[in-house]
A and B are shown apart, each in its own frame.
Chain A
Amino acid sequence: MAQTDNVHAADPGAVLDFLSSAHPFKDLDRGTIEDLAQQFTIDFFPKGTVILRQDLSDVAYLYLISRGGVKVYLTDAEDVVTLKDFRGEGGYFGALGIIRGSKANLNVETVEDTFCYLLGKEVFLELIQNYPKVAHYFLKRFSEDVVGIAYTELRSQRVRPKGQEGLYLFNARVGDVLKRGLEVIAGSETVQDAAAKMSHLHIGSLLVQDQAGNIIGITTDNDLRKKVVAKALDVNTPVERIMTSPVKSISASAVCFEALLQMMNDQVHHLAVESQDKIVGVVTAHDIMVHQGTSPISLFREIGNQPTIEGLYPLSHKVPLMVRTLIEEGAKANNVTRMIAVLNDHIVNRVLMLLEEELGPAPYPYCWLMLGSEGRMEQTFKTDQDNALLYETPPEEWEQIKVAKLYFRRFGNMAIKHLEACGYPPCKGEMMASNPKWRKPYSTWHNYFERWMSAPEPQAVLHATIFFDFRPGYGRAALGERLRDYLVREAPQKSLFLMHLAKDCLTGKSPLTFFRNFIVEKDGEHKNRLDLKTRGLVPIIDFGRVMALKFGIRETNTLTRLQLLADGDHIPRELYTETREAYEFQMQLRLVHQMQMMEAGETPNNYIDPGELSEVEKQTLKEAFGVINRIQGYLKTELSVVD
């Protein structure tokens, strides 16, 4: 409508306030914001409305969420849905589609009643053209999306961001990531020659040259697939017939970010790199992203190559950085915790190995035992040390016993001290190898377990549960395995012991009230927060443990225990599926929560504020908690627990 002839038009104050506080508009000057505010429309989408459909919807607007929230997800060819993101008030969607002029690249669906401010496509394009800062903001966000979506093959390879990953894209030059020099082929050579050369060099593209040596085009894997194989073209066709020409190029001095941007705009994965008017090579999106992070393998190597224990101290701090990316990339919680376990194990192993070098060889073979969450390979970001030491029973000679005790005392104490310096806080209950009680020969450990299982006093059993999750670590693993053999053989017969464990598992109440509201802490530091670990995860872990012991399962990882129980028909398949899903979801929630805390500079804990969860998360969490009632019910009948 012609607004200019309406002398009574007013500034829409509310929209102005919103824009003035929203990234990236808040950096614009007042006049521009005022003009912009006039261009918006407001729309309402009831909960459950699909606003954009992947590959189908034309994106006509930039959407800013003013109230409510949306979930953003991908659907692949098999209709498998991958949840990418939740966006709430102040969030955007639609920008990438507008800039690329493509259909929506994701599905966007409202999870609550949602009001959005809509900015027309043309106005938005004009805005980013005139205001580099706004463009910069959106493009920076896309670069993350590009990594996540368009280059999924990188997921397994791209890992640890170097500090601030955003900055890397803006600092590193295209020339810096160029991996090799110019690889060319003459335009008159055949398609087959090109394919052979690409295979030989392990590259995905070749530049095409004319007789005068000028670069006239590029041919890629994609060309071979689409233009040759798919069309059954003769392999003797000259390359110049299928090449893409002219070549899209970028200056070697451009920052990597610009290269990614140009790739997105031109919808290509390769760009020729130009330096002083000469083409010097080809850069791919893959090159840029690989350069951005180092892989877990390289952290693994870095740990393994440390010549001193002190050199290991800072390395454990790199684990969370790497984990963050895994989570962002959508890795399942169980894979993430296993990755954490592998890296932490590696640090512990390296510490112990270097320590043994320092102290000289041990008088008797020993085995480091990981307990509790370490034993189950379920560590999150920061877990206390829970460990113990087991060594071969020395002969019954006072001198031999004394030698062993002295050596392992030093070894245990120093190991714990070094691990503390590595960033693993000591266990409050002193369940560590520095405690003489948990640094014993095999015979003593055997007696410990026998006592716990045969004459169970409820308290003693409950304090000892983390020991039943032990996993052999550094040293002679066979010693630990022997202890496990004993447990697997004996535990299933100890019905009184199992009943005590089951009973304990039943004391934890489901964290839902009768009306399906969350039960939160009533007072104290974590008032109105939900203790996810104690209330949600521990009952499932306990269930896995008692059932694994009952059926003689060696494994300690909760999900593996549950799977083996289901495979052995010890628990119903349906209960297994529900329990696994409930456990995975809560672990995921816990990891993300702890990651956010760490990034805010706080010490990670397990207390979640239900108010901060989206509608979908709340529902899923309630479902997950519902499962706790079912496993408790099952346990009650299965182990005939009497109150």
Chain B
Amino acid sequence: MKRLWKWLRPDKHPAIERNRRRFAEFDRDRPIENCEFVSLDTELTGFNHRKEEIVSIGAVRIRDLQIVIGDNFFSYVRPTKSIPKDSTLVHRITTSQIKTAPPLQEVLPEFVDFCGDALLVGHYIALDMAFVNKACRNILGARMENPCFDSMRLAYAYQEVQRRSYYDAIETRMSYNLTELSKRYRLPLFAKHDALEDALQAAYLFLFLVKRLQAAGCVTLRDLDTVGSGSPF
């Protein structure tokens, strides 16, 4: 079975080989501000990763805890099937619009190289990474090794810090979706359902949360990882 599995996998692409080498030895005790992050978002044909495909990827780099606007990544991706109508309604990408887009085989290695040795950030990033890594395994022969941080989980952590330090009434039913959180923290708002703008929105949220959590004593990547693994429930 194991052999068969291996046989099904393609050989490791040079981009993913580079990616694995970068994270072979990884120091979790580095201060957060010394790390480079990439905030990413993907738009899908739908939400079921057995069937659905990536139609666009957007990402923006965060260096020295500043968003480097010009250093971004955006591409439409040509899916193998046509886009179902209901998802077109969400992100307004139509089949004809992405007919000329490159296929995932072309985009993915470039995306992996763009991420480089940055740590990945996204809002509910597990979903995005499920798709990206499924594609990586199929196309590049292995998954991406970059550690990931979920801005949604960091938001839980921040609310917890708030709850402990203030006697304000606790809102138990607050929404943790990206737009609602951005409004709540009074962040500049971007267009929804565009992979690059959503990645930028998540980057703003990440910056906001990290600086607040730093003030609360969260200094190293390990700290960030620890606070980010809690859940509000």
Which chain B residues lie closer than 8 Å to A43 at the CB level? 65-67, 207
Given that A46-B212, A115-B204 are contacting pairs, would A8 and B73 also be in contact in the complex, using a CB cutoff of 8 Å?
yes
Proximity bits, A32-63, B CB within 8 Å = 1, else 0: 00000111111111100000000000000000
How long is the Cα–Cα vector from A571 to B60 in the complex, in angstroms?
Answer: 62
How long is the Cα–Cα vector from A578 to B188 in the complex, in angstroms?
Answer: 38
Which chain B residues lie closer than 8 Å to A42 at the CB level? 66-67, 69, 203-204, 207
Interface size on A, residues (CB 8 A): 28
Which chain A residues lie closer than 8 Å to B60 at the CB level? 12
Q: Does A13 contact B (CB under 8 A)?
A: yes
Q: Does A80 contact B (CB under 8 A)?
A: no
Which chain B residues lie closer than 8 Å to A14 at the CB level? 188, 190, 197, 200
How long is the Cα–Cα vector from A567 to B186 in the complex, in angstroms?
Answer: 48
Which chain A residues lie closer than 8 Å to B71 at the CB level? 1, 3, 6, 9
Interface size on B, residues (CB 8 A): 35
Question: B58-109: which have CB < 8 Å to A?
Answer: 58, 60-61, 63, 65-75, 107
Proximity bits, B179-212, A CB within 8 Å = 1, else 0: 0000001111011000011001001100110011
How long is the Cα–Cα vector from A13 to B110 in the complex, in angstroms?
Answer: 22
How long is the Cα–Cα vector from A21 to B196 in the complex, in angstroms?
Answer: 21
Which chain A residues lie closer than 8 Å to B67 at the CB level? 41-43
- A41 near B212 with CB under 8 A, answer no
- B187 near A115 with CB under 8 A, answer yes
How long is the Cα–Cα vector from A43 to B65 in the complex, in angstroms?
Answer: 7
Q: Does B23 contact A (CB under 8 A)?
A: no
Q: Does A201 contact B (CB under 8 A)?
A: no
Q: Does A113 contact B (CB under 8 A)?
A: yes
- A8 near B204 with CB under 8 A, answer no
Which chain A residues lie closer than 8 Å to B176 at the CB level? none
Given that A42-B207, A67-B188 are contacting pairs, would A8 and B107 also be in contact in the complex, using a CB cutoff of 8 Å?
yes
Proximity bits, A1-27, B CB within 8 Å = 1, else 0: 101001111101111000000000000
How long is the Cα–Cα vector from A42 to B211 in the complex, in angstroms?
Answer: 13
- B200 near A12 with CB under 8 A, answer yes
Proximity bits, B149-184, A CB within 8 Å = 1, else 0: 000000000000000000000000000000000000
How long is the Cα–Cα vector from A6 to B38 in the complex, in angstroms?
Answer: 15
How long is the Cα–Cα vector from A41 to B36 in the complex, in angstroms?
Answer: 14
Which chain B residues lie closer than 8 Å to A68 at the CB level? 186
Q: Does A66 contact B (CB under 8 A)?
A: yes
Partner of B70 from A3, A7, A66, A115 at Cβ < 8 Å: A3
Given that A1-B61, A13-B197, A14-B188 are contacting pairs, would A8 and B110 also be in contact in the complex, using a CB cutoff of 8 Å?
yes
Question: B113-134: which have CB < 8 Å to A?
Answer: 114
Which chain B residues lie closer than 8 Å to A9 at the CB level? 70-74
Q: Does A608 contact B (CB under 8 A)?
A: no
Q: Nearest residue in B to A18 (C-beta to C-beta)?
A: B188
Given that A6-B114, A42-B67, A43-B66 are contacting pairs, would A115 and B188 also be in contact in the complex, using a CB cutoff of 8 Å?
yes
Q: How many whole Å from A183's CB to the nearest CB in chain B?
A: 53
Which chain B residues lie closer than 8 Å to A46 at the CB level? 211-212, 215
Q: Nearest residue in B to A44 (C-beta to C-beta)?
A: B207
Which chain A residues lie closer than 8 Å to B215 at the CB level? 46
- A6 near B188 with CB under 8 A, answer no
Q: Nearest residue in B to A68 (C-beta to C-beta)?
A: B186
Q: How many whole Å from B166's CB to the nearest CB in chain A?
A: 14
Q: Does A242 contact B (CB under 8 A)?
A: no
Q: How many whole Å from A5's CB to the nearest CB in chain B?
A: 9
Which chain B residues lie closer than 8 Å to A38 at the CB level? 69-70
How long is the Cα–Cα vector from A46 to B74 in the complex, in angstroms?
Answer: 29
Sample of 13 A–B contacts (CB below 8 Å): A6-B71, A10-B72, A10-B196, A14-B197, A14-B200, A38-B70, A43-B65, A43-B67, A43-B207, A44-B65, A46-B212, A46-B215, A67-B187
Known: A8-B73, A44-B208. 4 other contacts (CB 8 A): A12-B69, A42-B69, A67-B186, A67-B188
A residues near B (Cβ < 8 Å) are 1, 3, 6-10, 12-15, 37-46, 66-68, 113, 115, 117-118
